[in-house]
Amino acid sequence: TDPCRGTVTMVEDIPAAMVEHKVARLVHLLGKEVSSCRNVARLKELLRIARRLNSGRLRPEDPDLQDWPDLDEATRELPGGGDSWHAAFMRKRLGLYLCLGEVLLSFVGPNWLALFSTEEKEELFYSYFDSGPKVQLLKFLVGKSTRGPSEQAESRSGELAHEVVKISREAAKSILERLFVHGDGVEILLAELDCCARKDAKEVAALVASIPDRTDAQEQCVATLLSKTLRASSKRVVRDAERNEETVFVYLATLIKGFCRRGFAHMVAQAAHAYASRLEQGDLSQKYVATILWDKSMPHMKDLYAMEHLFHSLLLLESEGDTKARETPRTLRLCFGNSLGASSDLKIVLLDRILLKRALPLGYLRLVLGFLSQGASDTEKRGGIGHLSVEELIYRTSVMWSKEESSGVLPLGHQASLSTIIIEGLKLTDKDKLEGEYPSVPEILKGISSRLSNVNVSIRSHGMAVAKALSFTLDPNRPLEFDSSVDFEQSLREDLARATKHESSKGADEVVEKYTDKIEGESHTKDINAAVSYGTVCLIEECEVLALSDESSSESDSDDESSLEAYDMSDDDVDVNAKLPSTLGSFIKALRKSDDHERFEFVLMHCERLISQLDSSVTSYLNDLTNALLYANIPEEFMKEDVREGLTPLECKLKGIIALLVKAPVETSGILINNFYSVHLGVSQRLMILDALKESALQLSGSGPAEGSSRSSPRADSIEEKAPGLSEETGGKTRIFAPISLSRKESPQYALVGNEFAQVAHAFMLPLLSKYDHKGEGLDMVERDFVLLGKILQTSYTFLACAGATQQAIELGFLLFEFVEGTRVLYHREAFVRKSAVQAVRGVLSSVPSFLIGTYDDGSALNYERLHDVLISLAKHDSDEECRILAAQGLHELEQMYNKVLPKIEVL
C-alpha cells in the first residue's frame, strides 16, 4: 500500500468498499470496548486483540475473542486471508489505524498505563505504534502532542481534564521520541517517502524538525535526527540522482531549514562538520555520495534567514579549527561548494546579508575568501559558470565602499570590514582579472579619493591601506609608499578587531588586548569620542594656542587679592550648535555610542530639534536613523535624570521618535511596526512605540502634542448626525448616500484644516492590527502580553478620533468593528482588554455617521442588532464594573444616534 495516499484493490471478488466497511465496524467495536472497560485484566485482553489486529494475525478462532461476542462476530465477517483486510486497516485514506491509536492515547494512556508493568507497556501499548506506518504516525503524534483538550476531556471537571490532556500529550511525546530519536523511524520514514510527492516530503520534514520542541534535550535530539537523516539519505543518493528524483534532497533541505529557523543552526553546522570529518578517512565513493547529497540539497533551501545563520555558524566553527582547517574549509566546501553557482539565493545571503551588511572578524573574511577562490578554481577546471568569484566580491564591495555617503554613515567597524575584504581579495587576484568582467579599479580609486580627503584619521588610514594594496596588485615592483612610519593595514586590523571582539576568535582577541593601552593615549581617541565632524572644515581660530604670559597676566601677578582678576565661571558650552552633529551620519553614530555618556546625553537631549530640521533627504537614511533612536541604550545611571526641561532621557527619546513620525509618517510607522513584532524588543519598548504612534497621530491631526503618553485621546468631530432627506421632507427623490458630499460642502464642520493624519491613518492602523495574534519571538498578546493587545485597541481608538470627519475615518471604523467582533476581544478573559475593546466600539460609533448604521446587514452599513447585542451583553453580564459602565454608556450613545434616524425604534 502507498503510505502517503493508499490504494484500492479487489480481493476474492469482494468489493474493496465492503472490506473497508467490515474492518471499520471491527475497529469501532474494539475502540468502544476499550474506552468503556473498567477492569484492568479485561483491558489487557482487549489490547492483545488490538495487537493481533495491527499485525494482521487476528482470526475468528482466536481464544481471546470468546469473551467478546460482538468482536467475534465482526471478526468472522472478515474475508479469508489477512492481507486483504489488514491493508484496509493500515490505509491512510480510512485512518482506521490512527482511530484505534487515538483510543489508546486518550483512554489507556491517562487511565491505565500507570498500572502496567514495564514489560506490559512494551507489549500492549508501545508495540502498537512501533509497527505502524511512520508517515501517518508522525502527523498523528505531532498533532496529539500540541493539540488542546479533546471533547471528552472538556466534558470533565477542570483539574482532572487538564491532567488527562497533559498525560495524553506526554505519552504522544514519548512515543515520538521513542520512534524517531531512539528508534529507526527516520530510516523507515525516508523509505516511505519514495512514493510520495515533493510537497509531502516538505510537510514531513517540517514535522520532523518540530520534534526537538517536544523533548527536554533539544540539542541532543537535533544532533541525533541529523545524524540519522544523513546516514539514511546517503544510502539513497545515487539511486535517486540516477532516477532524477528529488524527494530525499527536498526532505534534507527542508529539515535543515526548520532546525535553523528554530535556533539550532550551530547544531546543523556541528553535524555537517562531523560528517565532513568522517569523509576525510573515507574512500572516494563515500566522498562522491556526500558531494551529490549536499550539492543537490542546498539549492532547495530557499530560506534566506536559515542560510544566513547556517553559513555564519559554519564560519564560526571553521575559524575555531586548526590552521590547516582554516586554510581549507572542508565543511564550507561540502555544504556550499557547488551551490553558489546553482542557487542565486545563496549568493544573496553571502553578499548582501553577511559580507556587505555586517562587520566580520579577519579570520571569517579570510575563510570566505579562501573558500571562494578555491571554489572558483574548481569551477574553471570543470568548465562551469555562475560561481561567485573573488573578483565579483571585490567589485560588489568596492561599489558599496566607494559611495560618498558610506564614510559618513557606516560605522567605523563596518568600514574596516569592507576595506579588509578589498585588501584580502586583492591578494588573491591579479591585474588582468581586475580589469576583466568586473572592473573594480575605478570604484576602488573613487573610494580611496573620498577617504583620503576625510578628516577622520582612522578613515584616512583605511584609504591608505587599500591604496597600498591596490598599487601592489597592479604593479608589484613599484608599490605605493607613504611618508609615514604608520602601518596602515595594521591600524585597519585594529579597528576591525575592536568592532568584532564579541564574535572574533582568539587571534582577534589578542589584537584587542595588545592595543588596549594604545587606544587611550594616541590619536585614535579622536575617533572613539566621535569628535570629528564629517565633511566640516576645521577653522584656524578653533585650533589656536593661547599664550599664557601676556601683559594682562603679568599685571595681575601680585600678592594683593584685589588685583587678581576673577575667573570666568560661565559655561563654555553656551554655543549649542557647536556641539551638535553636523551631518546625519555623525548623528546616527552618536546615538549608537551610548558609552560616551556626555555626548550621547547631549545628542539625545536635542534629537527632537535636530530631526525637525532635517530636509527631505532623511528618507534615504530613515531606517538607520529610526533603528538607532529606537535601540539607543540609555545607561542606568541617568535613566531617570532630567536632562532637558524636566524631561527624562526616555522622554527625550520618545519625542525624537515622534518627530521622525511627523517628518515621514508612512515610512517611519512601517519601520516601527516591524520592530514592534520583532524579537529584539521588550514590553516596555513596545509600549513606547504605541505611545509614539498615538502622539504623532495627535500632532498630525492638528490636536497638538499630548501631555505625556497617558493623555486621553480627544473625541473626533462627530459627523452630521442625521441623514439628508430623513429629518424633513424635500421635493424629488430621497437619496441616502449621494448627498454626503453636498452636506459636507454646506457644513463648516467638515473643513479639516491642517489634519494631515487622515491621509496616513490606514498606514498607522492596519499593519498594527494585522498581526495581533502573532505568537513567537517572545510575544504572545492574546494570552501573556494582553496589556499590549489592550493598548493596541486604545491606540486604534485614538487613530479614529484623529482621522476626524473624513472618509478614511469611516472606512477605519468599519474595519475596527469587524476586527473587534471577529477576534472576540470583547469576551477576553482580561478585563483590561474588554474595556479597551468597548472603548474601540465607542470610537466606531463616534466616527461612523448614524445613517450608516442600518437595521439589516447588507454589507454597506454597520448592523444595529449586532452593535446592540454586543453592548447589552457586556452591560448586563460582564464581571468588571467599569466595563459594564462603559458598555452601558456605549449603548446609550447607540440609542441616541439611532433615534435621530428612526425615532420610533425602541432600544431595550
Give the whole-angstrom CA distance, residue 132 versus residue 228: 19
For residue range 817-852, what is the model confidence (pLDDT) as tens digits?
888 877 888 888 888 888 888 888 888 877 777 666
Distance separating alpha carbons of residues 2 and 765, to the nearest angstrom: 50
The angle subtended at Cα 600 by Cα 598 and Cα 605, nearest 5°, is 95
pLDDT in tens, 380-418: 444 333 456 788 888 888 888 888 777 777 788 888 888
Residue 103 belongs to what domain range?
Answer: 1-183
CB 845 within 8 A of CB 890: yes
Q: Judge contact between 602 and 647, C-beta under 8 A.
A: no
Which cell is 543 given? 585650533
Cα(520)–Cα(498) distance, integer angstroms: 13
Asked if residues 462 and 419 have their Cβ atoms less than 8 Å apart, the reply is yes
The verdict on residue 719 lying in a domain is: no
| pLDDT of 320 | 67
Do 94 and 171 lie in a common domain? yes
C-alpha–C-alpha distance, residues 586 and 594, integer Å:
13
C-alpha cell recorded at residue 869:
447585542
* Dihedral over Cα of 843, 847, 850, 851: its sign: negative
**264 shares a domain with 147:** no
* pLDDT the model gives residue 776: 65
Strands 862-863 and 853-854, bridge-based pairing: parallel
CB 426 within 8 A of CB 470: yes
Residues 100, 244, single domain; the answer is: no
**What value, to the nearest 5°, has the Cα angle with vertex 105 and ends 103 and 110?**
110
324 and 405, same domain (yes or no)? no
- What is the rounded CA–CA span in Å between residue 629 and residue 633? 9
User: All 3 cell numbers of residue 378?
Assistant: 574548481
350 and 394 housed in the same domain: no
Asked whether the predicted pLDDT for residue 814 surpasses 60, the reply is yes
CA dist 663 and 620 (Å) reads 13
Q: Is 682 contained in some domain?
A: no
Q: Which of 262-271, 616-625, 816-825, 860-869 has the highest mean pLDDT?
A: 262-271
Of the CA atoms within 13 Å of residue 402, those in its CB half-sphere come to: 19
The model's pLDDT over 471-506, given as tens digits with 9 standing for 90+, comes to 888 888 888 877 666 778 888 888 888 877 755 444
Q: How does residue 157 score in pLDDT terms, banded at 50, 70 and 90?
A: very low
Identify whether 559 is part of a domain.
no
Q: Quick check: is 536 in a domain?
A: no
User: For residue 550, what pLDDT is reported?
Assistant: 39
Residues 341 and 384: beta-carbon distance below 8 Å = yes
Mean per-residue pLDDT for 608-616?
75
Instruction: Over range 416-428, report the average pLDDT.
Output: 88
Do residues 101 and 12 make contact, with C-beta atoms less than 8 angstroms apart?
no
How far is 866 from 326, CA to CA, in rounded Å? 69
**Taking CA 884 as the corner, what is the angle to CA 879 and CA 890, rounded to the nearest 5 degrees?**
150
Strand partners, 677: none
What distance in Å separates the CA atoms of residue 176 and residue 208, rounded to the nearest whole number? 10
As beta bridge partners, residue 647 has 644
706-733 pLDDT per residue, tens = 443 333 333 333 323 333 332 333 334 3
Measured between alpha carbons, how far is 600 from 615 in angstroms, rounded to an integer?
Answer: 23
The Cα 502–Cα 682 span in angstroms is 23
Nearest CA to 602 out of 585, 577, 583, 621 is that of: 577
Q: What are phi and psi of 776, to 5 degrees?
A: 150, 170
**Phi and psi (nearest 5°) for 11?**
-130, 130
Task: Calculate the average pLDDT of the chain.
Answer: 71
The share of the chain scoring above pLDDT 90, in percent, equals: 0
Cell (9 digits) for 129: 505504534
| CB 373 within 8 Å of CB 328 | no
Angle of CA points 122, 125, 129, to nearest 5°: 95
Contacts of 539 (CB under 8 A, 6+ apart): none
First to last CA, the chain: 64
Please give the DSSP secondary-structure letter assigned to residue 907: P
Interatomic CA distance for residues 102 and 151, integer angstroms: 13
Look at residue 411 and tell me if it is in a domain.
yes
In a shared domain, residues 400 and 478: yes
- Our measurement of the distance from residue 396's CA atom to the centroid of its chain's CA atoms, rounded to an integer in Å, reads 27
Whether 52 and 138 share a structural domain: yes
Q: Where are the alpha helices (DSSP H) in 784-863?
A: 786-803, 807-823, 831-847
Note the residue count of the chain: 908
With a CB cutoff of 8 Å and minimum separation 6, the contacts of 101 are 128, 129, 132, 137, 140
How far, CA to CA in Å, does 891 sit from each of 330, 495, 741, 804, 894? 72, 66, 29, 22, 5
CATH number where 775 lies: 1.25.10
pLDDT digits (tens, 9 = 90+) for 284-329: 777 778 878 887 888 788 788 888 888 888 888 777 655 444 555 6
pLDDT value for 644: 53
Please compute the mean of the pLDDT values over residues 330-358 and round it to a whole number. Answer: 71
Give residue 513's pLDDT band: very low, low, confident or very high (50, 70, 90).
very low
- Cβ atoms within 10 Å of 262's Cβ, excluding its own: 16
Give the CA distances from residue 759 to residues 392, 422, 704, in Å, rounded to whole numbers and listed in that order: 45, 46, 17
**Of residues 343, 351, 495, the one with CA closest to residue 416:** 495
**Would the CA dihedral through 132, 133, 135, 139 be positive or negative?**
negative
Structure confidence at residue 531 (pLDDT): 28
Of 183, 199, 221, the position where a domain reaches its end is 183
Residue 400 in domain: yes
Number of H helices and number of E strands within the chain?
A: 49, 4
Beta pairing class for 779-780 and 862-863: unpaired
Residue 207 has pLDDT above 80, yes or no: yes
C-alpha torsion sign, points 806, 812, 814, 816:
negative
The answer to whether the CB of 422 falls within 8 A of the CB of 471 is no
pLDDT at residue number 875: 82
349 and 385, same domain (yes or no): no
pLDDT of 25 strictly over 50: yes
Among 193, 204, 180, 220, which residue's Cα sits nearest to residue 255? 204
* HSE, side-chain direction, 13 A CA sphere, residue 393: 33
More confident residue, 704 or 434: 434
Among 143-152, 443-452, 845-854, whose mean pLDDT is lowest?
Answer: 143-152
pTM above 0.75, yes or no: no
Q: Which grid cell sits at 474?
A: 597592479
Residues 833 and 869 in one domain: yes
Give the mean pLDDT of 82-88. 64
Q: 567 in a domain, yes or no?
A: no
8 and 126 assigned to the same domain: yes
Same-domain check for residues 329 and 388: no
> Alpha-carbon distance 474 to 850, whole Å?
78
DSSP string, 636-698: GGGSS---BTTB-HHHHHHHHHHHHHHHSHHHHHHHHHHHHTSTT--HHHHHHHHHHHHHHHH
Question: 300, 323, 355: which is the final residue of a domain?
Answer: 355
**Out of 115-129, 359-373, 559-573, least confident range:** 559-573
User: Are the C-beta atoms of residues 828 and 883 closer than 8 Å to each other?
Assistant: no
Q: Are residues 162 and 243 in the same domain?
A: no
| Structural domains in the chain (count) | 5
Is the Cβ–Cβ distance between 721 and 743 less than 8 Å? no
Burial (CB count <10 Å: 0-12, 13-18, 19+), residue 225: buried
| Domain-ending residue, one of 663, 688, 715 | 663
Encode burial over 86-123: b for 16+ CB neighbours within 10 A, e otherwise.
Answer: bbbbbbbebbbbbebbbbbbbbbbbbbbeebeeeeeeb
Q: Flag the least confident range among 152-156, 412-416, 622-626, 786-790.
A: 152-156
Does residue 633 form part of some domain? yes
